[in-house]
Amino acid sequence: MERGAMSVRQLPPQANLRQLKSQAKDLRKASASHDAEALTRIRTNHPRHERSNDDSLVDLSLQEAQLVIAREYGFDSWPRLTEAVESSTGSTAISSIDILLGAGLAQVREQLTRAASTDVPVLLVGERGTGKRLAARVLQGLNGGPVAVVSCDARPDSLGESDIFGFEAGAFTGAHVSTAGKLEEAQGGTLVLNEVGDLSLPAQLRLLEAIEQGTYRRLAGSEEHPFDVRLICTTSTDLRGLVATGALREDLYFLLQVMRMDLPPLRDRQQDLTVLVQHFVEAAHRASGMDAPTIGDDALRLLLNHDWPGNVRELRHVMEAAALAAVDGHIGAQQVRIEAAPTGEQAA
């Protein structure tokens, strides 16, 4: 591959996808302003422009800028560069989710690694306790940068909006001091909105406008702030149903669906349950410095016959308690305490 006078740069030891994507965006902006150094880099590392002597380079797409960055690091394509970064920075994160997602969710793992190389919103859908927040943490770890989390179901409407976007003094009763929101905390990184279906309609409109325009304002503010975050949303609610009742804007619904990942309930993942049981028992005993107890067949039968309305979260708590109650290094049915959910109800 022809490199001209440019030498191949080494990837920083702690390189992450967020940094690389920022480099590509910065290169594109520099080329638009006819920056001489940027034009030299592009001509040296992009086939379409290597013979160009025009100082006013034609409009450079983001994909072309990404190819230039990839070549500067010695890779012949952007996907090969991102794969290399994922394997070095994401191996720990992905391995941590390998067990918790299990063989039954191989597709989710593949989607997470694919999503890490883009900036589009990601929607994680599943019952409570299926691992949505864990998947969000893995994706955030692959992207790098700061992270801010908002639990939309835990805030009153007005406070939820100010929590995300921030507010200026006097924006509402009790707002005595101008305060930054979670968006400002997450700039250049990831904003996670847990249970996004509980966002108020005013907050939904404000979020939609921020995503589409690339800027936002604090409540009662006039200054424009850049919307430079990777948006990850989770929901255990049927969002389409919320659209039908008017509780969720349809335009926001479609925008959030760009990359959707569905996490099935544990009752549909019987092939993973035995591995998960062993994982949680071993984790509990690693923390105490003791050897993990054995698990009796009677205990396993009890676990396999349970519907797990609380999903992986419920299983973790059950196995942590069983590990502590183990007798002579053994877990039997008597040490497994499972509460039957009321008929027709799902654990929250």
Per-residue pLDDT of the chain (348 residues; tens, 9 = 90+): 343 444 577 777 666 777 788 888 888 888 888 888 888 888 888 777 765 665 555 577 888 888 888 888 888 888 778 777 766 554 444 455 555 566 556 677 778 878 887 889 999 999 999 889 888 888 887 777 889 999 998 776 656 788 999 999 988 888 899 999 999 999 988 999 999 999 999 999 999 999 999 999 999 999 999 999 999 999 999 999 999 999 999 999 999 999 999 998 999 888 888 888 988 888 877 766 667 889 999 999 999 999 999 998 899 899 989 998 999 999 999 999 997 654 444 433
Is the four-CA dihedral 192, 194, 197, 201 of positive or negative sign?
Answer: negative
Q: What are phi and psi of 149, to 5 degrees?
A: -120, 135
Predicted local confidence at residue 4, as pLDDT: 41
Predicted local confidence at residue 90, as pLDDT: 46
Residues 125, 127, 128, 129, Cα dihedral to 10°: -90
Angle at the Cα of 18 (from 16 to 22), degrees rounded to 5? 120
Q: What is the DSSP letter of 167?
A: B
Predicted local confidence at residue 288, as pLDDT: 61
Nearest-angstrom CA–CA distance, 279 and 328:
19
* 204 closest CA partner among 243, 262, 259: 243
- The pTM score is 0.71
* 31 closest CA partner among 53, 54, 57, 12: 57
**211: enclosing H helix or E strand:** helix 201-213
Predicted local confidence at residue 209, as pLDDT: 96
Predicted local confidence at residue 92, as pLDDT: 42
Helix axis angle for 297-304 and 311-324, nearest 10°, is 160
Nearest-angstrom CA–CA distance, 151 and 193:
6
Mind listing the domains of the chain with CATH numbers?
17-87 (no CATH), 95-262 (3.40.50.300), 266-335 (1.10.8.60)
Predicted local confidence at residue 17, as pLDDT: 74
What region does 344 belong to: left with phi over 0, alpha with psi -120 to 50, or beta?
left
| Contact by Cβ (8 Å): 336, 293 | no
Residues with Cβ within 8 Å of residue 219, at least 6 apart in sequence:
161, 162, 165, 166, 167, 168, 171, 172, 175
